[in-house]
Amino acid sequence: MKLLQAVRQGEVSPEEAAGKLQMQPFEDLQYAKVDHHRGIRQGVPEVIYGEGKTAEQIIGILGAMQEERNVLITRLSPEKAEKIAEVCPLRYHEIARLALARPKEIENPVGRILVVSAGTSDMKVAEEAALTAEALGNRVVRIYDAGVAGIHRLLSRMDELVQARVVIAVAGMEGALPSVVGGLVDCPVIAVPTSVGYGASFGGVTALLAMLNSCASGISVVNIDNGFGAAYQASLINHLGGAS
């Protein structure tokens, strides 16, 4: 937040900031409140969670946002995307069910986020993560279909693994990928369980539990299928490392 950054830079005292925090305007659309003090850093998009909102509501929120910003819309069905595209420039990614409204080219993506996934079916979550990370201004490398039952596939990409500043490891079923990756790299690993599997995979719960119990250090976990959340945190981490 701009205000808090001012605090961090010593321009505003924390006490003043805390007071102002409550006073800042946000636009009330009745069905949603649009914050005008989030994400004002250059190149960083606003985010709309598309699930459970109608195309009309999304268009309304887009209208209330600043014209010059690009906006990331997650969990967006093709049908809604089509309607929105009629009134606003939209770049839609079907596999990831994700769109960029008023898309702009990210000019100087920073650092390196590696997105590695276990199976073909995990790709939709992996792509949600990769596309989100790119939209947030990060350089992204993808390694897909590298499940632990074929460990040689992962080892053959060892060079890319060790160059990552942060890894997003996406897997369903037994969710073992982050443990193996976490043993190979020396950077933070964000594990994303997916709902891929059947029977005792319980819609991703098995992968989630396995990841939480990883024997490798340096791993943390987000909700099932939450590619966006992993990418958001990965971006915060990757930007800490500076622009190179």
Instruction: Identify residues 74-93 at the interface with a second copy (CB under 8 A).
Output: none
Considering only residues 162 to 191 of the shown chain, the ones binding a second copy according to CB under 8 A are 162-163, 165, 173-176, 179-180, 182-188, 190
Burial class (CB in 10 A: 0-12, 13-18, 19+), 90: buried
Q: Which of 7, 100, 129, 135 binds a second copy (CB under 8 A)?
A: 7
The count of residues interacting with a second copy (CB under 8 A) is 104
Strands 33-35 vs 46-49: parallel, antiparallel or unpaired? unpaired
Question: Least Å distance between CB 222 and a second copy?
Answer: 5
Distances (CA, A) of 55 to 63, 79, 81: 12, 9, 8
Considering only residues 105 to 124 of the shown chain, the ones binding a second copy according to CB under 8 A are 118-121, 123
Q: Which of 11, 21, 107, 243 binds a second copy (CB under 8 A)?
A: 21
In the complex with a second copy, the residue whose CB is nearer, 30 or 105, is 30
Give me the residue label for tokens 């199976």: 119
Q: Are 211 and 83 in contact (CB under 8 A)?
A: no
Considering only residues 202 to 221 of the shown chain, the ones binding a second copy according to CB under 8 A are 202-221
155 lines the binding site for a second copy (CB under 8 A): yes
How many CB atoms lie under 10 A from the CB of residue 132?
29
